Structure 1
Amino acid sequence: MSLHLLALDASSSACSVALLRQNGETHECLARYEMTPRAHTRRLMPMVDELLAEAQITPAALDAIAFGQGPGSFTGLRIATGTAQGLAFGLDRPLLGVSTLKALALQAHRRFHLRYVVTALDARMGEIYAATWHCLNDTVSLERAEAVLPPEAFYLSEDETDWVGVGSGFTLWERFAATVQVRMSQHLVDLEPRAEEMAWLGAEDLAAGLGQPAHLAQPVYLRNNVAWKKPA
């Protein structure tokens, strides 16, 4: 069984697209990634065109579209959602929204072999988008739900887990509680969500029957999910 799945993301300062090609047991992922602050609208579709030209296919060959649905930059999320919807509408293909935090966790797992990951993105206004994940053999499982909260309100359960933090939210490292800082062996601030991981996660969701009609696609802002409740 063959698959061509296009993924795109504009949730951060980076703009990225990826094309996952599967043919039986053979997999290939072509990708473009650029740091393009305030230029997502201008660069996103040209990057898609460049990638399809490299793959020597037309948009009609695509089987599904995935996009970074958030959390992240409000403007970037709307750009990615609108672009993905336009492609899915025009091609009559299923659409798959992928969590930017989950894609970031998968990237950290694949690049650095991390097992217990805290993803945190700068949410502006002194807050972070955060979640915790358990990663094993390219599988990423949510440990604690995605939320937006001040760094001071973030906490980790009291066990022996060796957590590693990734993402722009850790530029606010000094505002995390001392108990959290002690629990993290390191934090990596330079990783941004990428379409490459979103393509793989989108393919998993497509196989699970989670593709949606284009009109149902919605960005995930998390602003209504404001905090975790810390156990008493």
Structure 2
Amino acid sequence: MKLLALDTATEHMALALWDGSAVAEPGTHRLADGGAQSSAHLIPMLLAMLAERGLRLSDLDAIAVGQGPGAFTGLRTAISVAQGLAFGANKPVLLLDSLLLVAEAAHLEAPVASGSTVWVAMDARMDEIYAAAYAHDGHTWQTLAAPALMDAPSLNAAWQALPPACVAGSAAAAFGERLHTQGLLTVAGVTHRAQALLALACAAWQQGPKVAPEDAQPLYLRDKVAQTTAERLAQRLAKEQGAAP
């Protein structure tokens, strides 16, 4: 089994290659700056990883990609690259949950007890949050709450119904006291993201469906991906008025 995996759903670009080698060996995973950097550096970095291991695209069994939710441009970049490489090599695509990737990275950094609820909360900009809940049984992840787009009050209410043992992702830092994370374990879920990508790609090969490149589509939770200048101004004024005594 040989897999190439990529995720550019956040400001960190994660790349991974599985060729049967130990996870810690050089060339098996990389974490780099994402965002605007993704489109320029993604393909050269992927091809360099293959070259370092003496592999060609035709040697792969599949290409795994984080399908979201996440940044609009990042998702389009990752899916387009995965489709192009898979078409060229005549290989299937494995679609990965980008929020589950954060949960796995957090679990590698600060493992929680088996069966404990891990909520992922990623800053989605526009005063919203990408959120989902998972539990690890010691072998695989189970989805307890599917990825959704929420505001802070809605997520706090969801935590009342399904209390987290850990909150992973960028929203805790971005929203501060507006999210009720006091007393909870909070983990950014960045440091081990590339290793987590490798683990999820291997699990997807064993368990998940393999789709044709043309069927690989990003997971969008927001129809509107940007605000107008007037909308941004109105939102800023509303925040300022709300903070005024």
**TM bin (shorter chain):** 0.7 to 0.9
Matched, 1:165 2:162: no
Secondary structure of residue in 1 paired with 2:184: strand
Instruction: Name the structure with the higher strand share.
Output: 1
Cα deviation digits, residues 127-180 of structure 1 (max 9, x gap): 000011112324211111210010111122457x6621111121213222xxx4
Cα deviation digits, residues 172-228 of structure 1 (max 9, x gap): 13222xxx435x52222363783432332232222236100000000001226xxxx
Separation in 2, partners of 1:168, 1:209:
27
Cα deviation digits, residues 86-111 of structure 1 (max 9, x gap): 01101110101101111111111122
5+ residue gaps, structure 2, are 224-245
One-letter amino acid matched to 1:128 = I
Matched, 1:156 2:159: yes
Alignment of 1:1-232 (within 5 A): 3-22=1-20, 28=23, 30-115=28-113, 116-154=117-155, 155-157=158-160, 163-170=165-172, 171-176=174-179, 180-182=180-182, 184-189=183-188, 191=190, 194-208=193-207, 210-223=209-222
Contact in 1 for aligned 2:4/2:60 (Cα 8 Å): yes
One-letter amino acid matched to 1:74 = F
Residues paired across the two proteins, number = 214
The structure-2 alpha-carbon separation of the partners of 1:81 and 1:152, relative to structure 1 and needing over 3 Å to count, comes to same
Separation in 2, partners of 1:219, 1:158:
29
Contact in 1 for aligned 2:94/2:205 (Cα 8 Å): yes
Separation in 1, partners of 2:209, 2:190:
27
Question: TM-score, structure 1 length as denominator?
Answer: 0.84
Deviation at 1:27, TM superposition (A): 5.0
Question: TM-score, structure 2 length as denominator?
Answer: 0.80
Separation in 1, partners of 2:159, 2:89:
44
Secondary structure of residue in 1 paired with 2:181: helix
Note the aligned Cα RMSD (angstroms).
Answer: 2.2
Separation in 2, partners of 1:104, 1:84:
20
Runs of 4+ in 1 over 6 A off after TM superposition: none
The structure-2 alpha-carbon separation of the partners of 1:138 and 1:104, relative to structure 1 and needing over 3 Å to count, comes to farther
Determine what percentage of the aligned residue pairs are the same residue.
33
Separation in 2, partners of 1:31, 1:76:
19
Instruction: Name the structure with the higher helix share.
Output: 2
5+ residue gaps, structure 1, are 225-232
Separation in 1, partners of 2:58, 2:139:
30
Separation in 2, partners of 1:193, 1:40:
19
Contact in 1 for aligned 2:106/2:187 (Cα 8 Å): no
Which has the greater radius of gyration? 2
Separation in 2, partners of 1:217, 1:54:
27
Contact in 2 for aligned 1:12/1:193 (Cα 8 Å): no
Cα deviation digits, residues 24-54 of structure 1 (max 9, x gap): xx75460111124311111101110221122
Separation in 1, partners of 2:203, 2:164:
27
Secondary structure of residue in 1 paired with 2:124: strand
Separation in 2, partners of 1:164, 1:156:
11
